[in-house]
Amino acid sequence: MRVRSCHAVVGTTLAVASLAGCRQADRAPDEGRAASETHVVEVTARDYSFDMAAEIPSGWTTFLMNNEGEEHHFFLLSRLPEGKTIVDYGTDVGVAYGTAWDSLRTGAMDRAEAGQLLGQLLPEWYGSVVAMGGVGLVAPGRVAQTSVYLEPGTYVMECYMKTTDGVFHSVLGMERSLTVAEDSSDAPEPVADIAITLSNDAITIEGEPNAGEHTVAVRFLEHPPVGLGNDVHLARLTGDRDIVDVARWMDWMEIDGLEAPAPAEFLGGAEEMPVGYTAYLTVELEPGRYGWVTETSAGRGLFQEFTVESSASP
């Protein structure tokens, strides 16, 4: 029995179980079938490739990404419309972004002009591509964990961080196809103790990010009408690094945006998903200064700093 997507808007309380109820309302009873365990899919990121299975079951999926590279990496999953393949994506979508980026990088166009060019170059079918989450930015040597609900289909998995030379990682090999099978993992929805709601003008947090392990529910309440949707990444801030600098760096259309080296140590995050969906990330917080930041967040103030106190503190 397939689970249809649930488009109900998630409430604003920490009733994380409410979305589980929402999904199960669409689901026929699984007679005689016990809830199974977390379905973990391991991903190894390197400079510049992803090592993981080519096909995985649908349903709740917990991605565990180990960054063995020397640069930060992330992955965004995009579900392709019927009949489109990774070759079409690379040819039509990848080239459009590459051309717009080159015109910006060389100074041939300003940001507004490059944005307009991108709009002209992207194929009409790009409007049917659905961002379906993924693991946010992960620092070298770190492991990050994000859970998402995946429908069957053909997906593109990509990282569009840039090298020190301003080249997208996707162009260098971090763009691959992923098949999500009809068969479901039947894994349960994770349970969270912190909730983040992403809207177009705020990151709203409920729950206490004290030292220790937390599972954070990330709810997608709305997205800007044009351009990239909302997502969230966890950055550990060192020295006197200002979160405003990190937020500005998150914008790929900035010349040094998303370019190595990263201005903070990122610990994962939740990539964009459709409105009404919830992703979960599990993080281990040590005492220190952190920030939640969204891509293209600087102009909208979508970043939030917080401090994790030592548990020995009064």
Write the DSSP assignment of 117-148 as a string of letters: HHHHHS-GGGGG-EE---B--B-TT-EEEEEE
Write the DSSP assignment of 22-46 as a string of letters: HHHHTS---TT-------EEEEEEE
Specify the DSSP element, H or E, that contains 203: strand 203-206
Which of 73, 236 has the CB closer to Cu ion? Answer: 73
Question: Measured from the CB of residue 213, what is the shortest distance to Cu ion in angstroms?
Answer: 26
Which residues, in sequence order, are CB contacts of 21 under 8 Å at separation 6+? none
Question: Measured from the CB of residue 286, what is the shortest distance to Cu ion in angstroms?
Answer: 25
Which residues, in sequence order, are CB contacts of 150 under 8 Å at separation 6+? 56, 58, 59, 61, 77, 132, 180
Which of 73, 248 has the CB closer to Cu ion? Answer: 73
Residue numbers of the site for Cu ion (CB under 5 A)? Answer: 73, 159, 161, 169, 174
Which of 163, 200 has the CB closer to Cu ion? Answer: 163
Question: Measured from the CB of residue 262, what is the shortest distance to Cu ion in angstroms?
Answer: 11
Which of 50, 220 has the CB closer to Cu ion? Answer: 50
Supply the DSSP symbol for 237.
Answer: E
**Measured CA angle at 226 (ends 225, 230), to 5 deg:** 75
Amino acid at 233: H
Specify the DSSP element, H or E, that contains 154: strand 153-158
Q: Residue 24 — left, alpha, or beta (φ > 0 → left; ψ -120 to 50 → alpha)?
A: alpha
- Would you say how long the chain is, in residues? 314
Which of 168, 220 has the CB closer to Cu ion? Answer: 168
Question: Measured from the CB of residue 169, what is the shortest distance to Cu ion in angstroms?
Answer: 3
Distance CA 85, CA 63 (A): 23
Question: Measured from the CB of residue 98, what is the shortest distance to Cu ion in angstroms?
Answer: 15
Which of 136, 291 has the CB closer to Cu ion? Answer: 136
Question: Measured from the CB of residue 73, what is the shortest distance to Cu ion in angstroms?
Answer: 3
Instruction: List the structure tokens of 169.
Output: 């990682």
Distance CA 284, CA 211 (A): 8
Which of 136, 153 has the CB closer to Cu ion? Answer: 136
Which of 93, 194 has the CB closer to Cu ion? Answer: 93
242 three-class SS: coil
Residue 92 backbone phi and psi in degrees, to 5? -90, -45
Question: Measured from the CB of residue 108, what is the shortest distance to Cu ion in angstroms?
Answer: 26
Question: Measured from the CB of residue 39, what is the shortest distance to Cu ion in angstroms?
Answer: 24
